Structure 1
């Protein structure tokens, strides 16, 4: 898919990770000036160097000061911000336990980054976007577990469900100003984290992968590039009447049960 994003400035959080890198690449390939934002400064700088006209920004989305400083860097460099992709997030790859034994500090870490961080980043980026008076796009990366809960990861499920309703609330509030807010709910995507859990030979749950794949109509995990294509579509002029929606990119996971 090719769209016209020349003159647009896109800030992508978590852009040193697999999905974030793919998103940044697709937006850049279609003409956007991209801010490769990540808490991992070295990773952000290395990837930004591969994209024409891109810049790296060190942003810890769980910190208000860091979020605001990253947006200020963006404005100082490009003079505007048109697209915010709230992609950064975490999950627990160690604590996969029932809620009655889930560690409080891990609950707080996940919700602070995945939900509070999305608010802090949006709050910072929306101020200049609103002042521009030319509309914009907010794309929140949620998860299928925000639509259909899974066990043993209660804070991640709660945060992603919160993102979905926050997306709808933002759409109602910001739509009159021409700022469209939508969410993408990825299914099982082949990233470093899912590989370590499911898809590597020594993955913690590798023995259950074949069984899990039988419940997916497409029978395979998705790729970061497939999430990036969805982001590109929602960023495009052709998506100008889409607001407050959740696009599941999940191979049919949430369509129902394979029997």
Structure 2
């Protein structure tokens, strides 16, 4: 897909690698100036250096003051903020256990990034968006587990389900300002984390990969670039009547049961 994002500034969290890196590449290729935001400042700087018009921002989105500083850095550099992609998120590799055994500190870590951080980031970014009076786009990266729960990852499931309803609430509140809010629910995407879990020979759940793939009608994991294309669609001027929606990019995972 091609669209014209020239003159627009996109702030993407979790942009130093994986899905976030694919998103910034796609938005930049369509003319947007990019704020590459990540808790990994060095990684963000490397990504920004490879883009035609970008700055790197190191930010822990759980920290309200750091988030405010990141938005201020953006407006100092570009004078505006048009697109926010809330992509940053974490899960756990070590603690795939039932809720009765799930460590409380790990719950707080995951929900703190995946849901609280998204709230803080949106709250701060909306100030220049609304003040600018030009509208804007917010794209929240949720997950298929926010639509259909899975076992043994309760905080991740809860946070992603929260993102979906928060997206809808934001869509209702922000539409009068010309700001459209939507979410993407990725299925199994081939990132470094999923490679460790499923797709590498030494993956923690490698033995279950074949059965897992049978549940996905397309029979394969997705690529980060396929999520980036969905983000581009929702950020494009042409998607001007899409608001409060959740787009599952999952190879058909949530369509029903493969029997």
Q: TM-score, normalising length from structure 1?
A: 1.00
Aligned mates of 2:235, 2:56 — CA distance in 1: 20
Q: CA deviation at 1:238?
A: 1.0
Structure 2 equivalent of residue 91 of structure 1 = 91
> What corresponds to 2:43 in structure 1?
43
- 1:195 alignment partner in structure 2: 195
Do structure 1's residue 20 and structure 2's residue 20 form an aligned pair?
yes
Gap regions ≥5 residues in structure 1: none
Quote the residue 1:160 is aligned against: 160
Q: Deviations over 1:178-219 (max 9, x none)?
A: 000000000000000000000001000001001100111000
RMSD: 0.4
Q: In structure 2, what is the Cα distance between the partners aligned to 1:169 and 1:235?
A: 19
**What's 1:212 paired with?**
212
Cα distance in 2 for partners of 1:105, 1:94 equals: 13
Give SS of 2:3's match: coil
Deviations 1:148-201 (A, max 9, x none): 000000000000000000000000000011000000000000000000000001
Distance in 2 between residues matched to 1:68 and 1:221, nearest whole Å:
36
Match of 2:125 in 1: 125
Q: Which runs of 5+ in 2 are unaligned?
A: none
Instruction: Compute the displacement of 1:59 (Å).
Output: 1.0
Alignment of 1:1-259 (within 5 A): 1-259=1-259
SS of equivalent residue, structure 2 residue 24: helix
Distance in 2 between the 1:216 and 1:144 partners? 12
Please report the TM-score for the alignment, with normalisation by the length of structure 2: 1.00
How far apart, in 2, do the equivalents of 1:82 and 1:53 lie? 15
Q: Displacement of 1:17 after TM fit?
A: 2.0
Deviation above 6 Å: which 4+ runs of structure 1? Answer: none
Q: How many residues align?
A: 259
1:38-81: CA deviation from partner (whole Å, max 9, x where unpaired): 00001000010000011100011010011111100000000000
